[in-house]
Chain A
Amino acid sequence: MATASTTIATRPAAPALWQRMRPDTMFLIGTILLGLIGFIVLYPIILLAINSFNVAPFGRAEAWGLDNWQAVFSQPRIVQALKNTLTLALVRQSIALVIGVMLAWILARTNLPGRRWLELCFWFALLLPVLPVLMGWILLLDGHHGLLIQAIRQVIPGFSFDIYSWWGIVVAHLMINLIPLKVFLLTPAFRNMDSSLEEASRTAGAGTLRTLFKVVIPIMTPTIAFITLLGIIRSMQSLEIELVLGGAAKIDVYSTLIYRQVLQSPPEYGKATALSMVVLAAMVPVIALQQWMVNRRNYTTVSGKYTNRLYDLGALKWPVFGIFVLLLAFIIVIPVVMMFLGTFMKVYPQFDLPDPWTLNNWARIIKEPTLIKALVNTLTIAFGATLLALFLFTLVAYVSVRTRYVGRKPLDFLTWLPSTVPGIVTSLGLLWLVLKTPIFRPLYGTTWILIIALGFAGMTLGVQLIKSSLLQLGAELEEASWASGAGRFFTLRRVLLPLIAPTMAVVALQTFAAASSAVSLVALLGSANNKPLSLLQLEYIDTGLFEAASVIGVIIFMLSVGAAIIARTLSMRMGLGRFEQANTGR
């Protein structure tokens, strides 16, 4: 019944050659992204691999050999550092996992009062800059003068604990970032689990604990394993806590060793590079395992159709709430208060002086000639990295979720790499990049190289966040815009970006907070010219000037808090936030 007779006469001539040859814009953008990210992420690693065989002393012509590698496996200090790296990571990850699973389950699956706010507090804790908070902890847990230590000694005379120790490093890690991070990652996963599975177990006669161990944890095993893996990878990123706490106790980990080898004079680039490669090689199976899990991970537990009935804590409700509040007080409030107090102390951390308080630290820092420069550098770097990250992550997420670009898989793989390469290794790799590649040499000592390092650093989490929020938007929202006559970029700007504005604000905030307090990523790239506040603070700590360092810490802290307020305000004004007022008024 349907015929084509009318169409043959009206068919126009075949399209011109240029029309057929015109490359697809999305293909072009995808390929540029792939090339750019591939270069920034992979090329430094290749340089490291090559230069680990360069045995010439710094500044001499290259000479090749295996000496660096031999040193890594034979020098007792290096071997001990690798051992410390491993044991510290395993112990603190195991403790964090157990605590994290319990806290996350309580937050997600019970009727704990104020659970949404408590969860938000854990996320906020993740935004706190590590070094400044660490300074607060030193005031609490210093072996002689620490306030908390002294308080415990009132109760248990002879109690002894020092933050400058192996266990001190573990405790600092747990409180400053591990517990908040585990809770942050695990809570949504527990929340999305279908509660009818739990209820079925209870109906079958199993108690709460048995249900937790026989049903909940087995179901959550893939997620928990994945988060554990992320935790181990992240452990390798750590530098500043070990640097500050391990220095006095003579505990080295691999990252502090690289830091010292590069910054000592003359620098031992060769050994540092070989050490980086050893750690990176050790990470390869972990990365492979992680990629395997990413690819096979199914989202069945996160299906749209689930019931989420909460477990009634009953009489335990308020005691458990009390524990949470106390924990968060120790994670956020007390260290931050201590950090502020520390800036007014004559001698850090001696509270027992006759007159311990002074304003001199502030006066001195404000007069410090490098301060303004460092502040400007930090702001430049943090804003620059945030803009770069937003632009880059959004494009990458868009290409991999909403287009059929052929290179989506490799692109996706590349976004996982920055989180698996330890910061200090990236820093060293980028250092090689600017030193050894003539066209990039002008970048040395500029804020640009720091912007690049920090903009790419949060790629894994940032891209994942934007991707998942894009996936939540039905494809038809975008298709309706095309059907209305809007092209891809107009649609991206007017429809998609406003709708994912809240997520972008979170990504921006995380990038900004991480960039303004970053240490390990920028440690080897800083120079007198581009040095940000975080490195200035580290130098003060390293030379024992804790009082001055704590003032800088407070400034960094204020920057993060300010960024959080700005991000929240902006995201409220954009996208759906516009109607929030109207909705609540209804």
Chain B
Amino acid sequence: MAKSALHEAPATTRKAAETVLSLVDVSKTFGSVRAVDRVSIDVNEGEVLTLLGPSGCGKTTTLRMVIGLERCTEGEIVYQGRVVDSARSHMHVPTHKRNMGMVFQSYAIWPHMTVFENVAYPLRIRNVKGDRVRDEVRRVLELVGLGGLEQRPATMLSGGQQQRVALARSLVFEPKILLLDEPFSNLDAKLREQMRAELRILQRRLGITVLFVTHDQIEALSLSDRIAVMNAGRVEQIGTPEELYLQPQSPVVRDFLGKTIVLSGQVTQKLGGRRLAVALLTGEWGELVAGADDAENFDLGQDCYLAIRPEQVQVEPSDGGHGTVAMHNQVEGVIEALLFIGERYEARIALPWGESILVYLEPNMPWQENERVTVTFPAEQVRVWRA
């Protein structure tokens, strides 16, 4: 504890990924429901790994198994080289012996204690004595920006302050890993952004390993070194935020991270390399050129989907002209609805075959509703998915 995690970690000493926590084929069944299904994740030292998914996807259950509030029904969990939960050998280290820090969704600040008493609690359990307790608590409160509030009753804290106390309490005993269960969901939007940035800075300074659970893709993308997208109890994909956003491996990941425009089509031609020509199913509007990693594995005539992010769609005022997509992946459309949301416009554009898509428009142009526009789907951004 002498070389404390509260002291800043010099960036240079960060070693190549050492595994702090491993989940090996972990499953959890409640009755007949398989809440978590053969999840395997390694959390490396110093990284922020996020479990991201919609509610009910098993991410919180996974976190609760890591801290020991639930037992896994299959597989095992290894923390710092020690099996802490194993379905096979009936090994189970109870929560209070795991030495992991955790910030709960509700913060769980004990209302009958002061800020000091809340934060000192884990130290008292570890038999830290008088002056040491005061020093450690003061240091960690300074760290989370609550210096001087030691004697404040916990009931007289704002939401953001409560969260800082919860953070201080989970850091004060210098755990190797910090678990965060939707820590920002009870804050208002502005505070949420501020706390997100502060948490990122704090994590970088301490170099602490973080396992973070959230359903908010913005939080996940902005805070994580790696993200594990979960769905229906399973891990769909693990990777860096950029990998997941740009190269989603499954429709679930694609649709959960960011917005996606999806069009139905049929493969008509292989253009070599990663490129395919796809006919839109909605009529004789021509073909789009799109890409797929395994383009050669598609069959001609195969049903497929075309997916593109709205921000990758290019929209320009129409110069009149073509009514089909035949040329350069371009099509004529009409702006149906135009919403100004500050840094940009959100527009629904009706395509000639009746479908509408949501795209983003630059704010510094005089867009009008009912205006005719040219919509371009850049071939290198459109991905082909199997139907």
Contact = CB atoms under 8 A, between A and B. Distances in A.
A498 interface: yes
A474 interface: yes
A476 B105 contact: yes
Interface in B50-108: 67-69, 76, 78, 81-83, 89-91, 94-102, 104-108
B121 interface: yes
A479 B69 contact: yes
A484 B81 contact: no
Interface stretch (B17-25, B320-328, B369-377): B17-25
B40 A4 contact: yes
Given A2-B235, A6-B22, A476-B108, A483 B78 contact: no
Contact of B169 (A484, A576, A582, A586): A484
27 contacts: A1-B238, A2-B41, A2-B42, A2-B235, A3-B42, A4-B40, A7-B19, A11-B83, A12-B82, A19-B91, A474-B108, A476-B104, A480-B166, A481-B121, A482-B94, A482-B96, A483-B102, A483-B170, A484-B173, A485-B126, A486-B121, A494-B121, A576-B111, A579-B153, A579-B155, A582-B153, A582-B156
B104 A480 contact: yes
B125 interface: yes
Given A4-B24, A490-B125, A483 B100 contact: yes
B241 interface: no
Nearest to A9: B81
Nearest to B154: A579
A11 B22 CA distance: 11
Interface of B: 19, 22-25, 40-42, 67-69, 76, 78, 81-83, 89-91, 94-102, 104-108, 110-112, 121-122, 125-126, 153, 155-156, 166, 169-170, 173, 179, 228, 235, 237-239
A578 interface: yes
A482 B41 contact: no
A477 interface: yes
Contact of A474 (B98, B106, B156, B170): B106
B342 to A, nearest CB: 32
Contacts of A579: 111-112, 153, 155-156
A487 interface: yes
A480 B235 contact: no
Nearest to A497: B112
B119 to A, nearest CB: 10
Contacts of B83: 11-12
B78 A10 contact: yes
A373 B346 CA distance: 86
Interface string A1-30: 111101100111011000110000000000
Contacts, number: 124
Contacts of A498: 112
Contact of B95 (A483, A576, A582, A583): A483
A495 B124 CA distance: 14
A490 B42 CA distance: 33
A485 B125 contact: yes
B89 A15 contact: yes
A575 interface: yes
B170 A3 contact: no
A27 to B, nearest CB: 14
Nearest to B104: A476
A10 B82 contact: yes
Contacts of A12: 82-83
A484 B122 contact: yes
A206 interface: no
B90 A11 contact: no
A576 B22 contact: no
A476 B106 contact: yes
Contacts of B69: 479, 482
Contacts of A3: 40, 42
A49 interface: no
B102 A485 contact: no
Contacts of B90: 15, 20
A6 B108 contact: no
Contact of A7 (B78, B112, B121, B238): B78
A395 to B, nearest CB: 19
A495 B110 CA distance: 7
Interface string A455-496: 000000000000000000010110111111111001000110
A568 to B, nearest CB: 17
Contact of B104 (A479, A487, A582): A479
Given A481-B121, A498-B112, A11 B42 contact: no
Task: Tell me which of B69, B99, B170, B237 has the highest count of chain A C-beta atoms within 10 A of its own C-beta.
Answer: B69
A570 to B, nearest CB: 14
A6 B76 CA distance: 13
B58 to A, nearest CB: 15
A495 B169 CA distance: 15
A371 interface: no
A576 B154 CA distance: 10
A34 interface: no
A499 interface: yes
A421 B382 CA distance: 76
Nearest to B100: A483
B73 to A, nearest CB: 14
A485 B122 contact: yes
